Amino acid sequence: MYGRGIYALRDVSLVVEKGEFVFLTGPSGAGKSTLLRLLLRQEMPSDGKVIVAGRDLARLSPGQAQAYRRNLGFVFQDFKLIPTKTVLENVALVPRVLGATSVQQQRRTYQVLKWLGLQHRMNAYPLELSGGEQQRVAIARALVNEPALVLADEPTGNLDPDLSLEIMDLFRDINARGTTVLVATHDRELMRHVGRRAFSLDHGRLMESA
């Protein structure tokens, strides 16, 4: 709840199974980003519970919260890459912050860049990349720590239709490896292309599950 009597989400109850790929859809202001922030533990619910892997996120200690976030990957619409760092440095930042050794940082980063077809661009800077390449780097950064859950907030919003389908195929590949994937989007064509279950929000309420 934001302010007196203003609810960003209300009467929302949904279950996503481990290893599932689901979409979260709805118009701007429907509450999609708020739900993702709750899952990221950037915000806490004023009522109700957010349970992930059997844990109530509101009850996690600081240490448990840190461990929980290590097992998450997040992909933004606007990439959020550091322009003064190379592709390699942008992706390696995550394992470095999480305490990985230099050898582990290099190994994990190269592996994920190779999987995403970016190893030949690892010394390039973000502004030297196409939009599709920048989004792949953002996805590599989300995957480098091998998270169990990947959240994406309008990850194709800045891409053309062909690149958008390519990125969705990439998320489908990520899911095929056993990772749970939740993608927020308003693009019905992308959802039809992937063919997965979708939750629809409108004015903070869950309207349907298809």
Mean of the pLDDT values across residues 6-27?
83
CB contact at 8 A, 204 and 12: yes
Residue in the structure block whose two tokens are 């739900």: 35
Structural domains for the chain: 1-71+153-210 (3.40.50.300), 82-146 (no CATH)
Q: What is the pLDDT of residues 194-205, one digit of tens each?
A: 888 998 888 778
Mean of the pLDDT values across residues 167-183?
92
pLDDT band at 2 (very low <50, low <70, confident <90, very high): very low
pLDDT band at 162 (very low <50, low <70, confident <90, very high): confident
Q: What is the pLDDT of residues 8-17, one digit of tens each?
A: 677 777 888 9
- Mean of pLDDT over the chain: 86
**What pLDDT is stored for residue 65 in this prediction?**
87
**Tell me, what amino acid is at 154?**
E
Mean of the pLDDT values across residues 131-153?
92
pLDDT band at 114 (very low <50, low <70, confident <90, very high): very high
CB contact at 8 A, 94 and 144: yes
Identify which has the larger pLDDT, 8 or 206: 206
Nearest to 85 by CA among 126, 137, 121, 118: 126
Instruction: Tell me what percent of the residues of the chain surpass a pLDDT of 90.
Output: 34
Strands 197-202 and 205-209: antiparallel
**What pLDDT is stored for residue 91 in this prediction?**
94
CB contact at 8 A, 173 and 179: no
Identify which has the larger pLDDT, 207 or 141: 141
Backbone angles phi, psi at 149, to 5 degrees: -135, 130
CA pair distance 152, 94, nearest whole angstrom: 17
String of DSSP letters for 90-119: HHHHHHHHTT--HHHHHHHHHHHHHHTT-G
pTM: 0.86
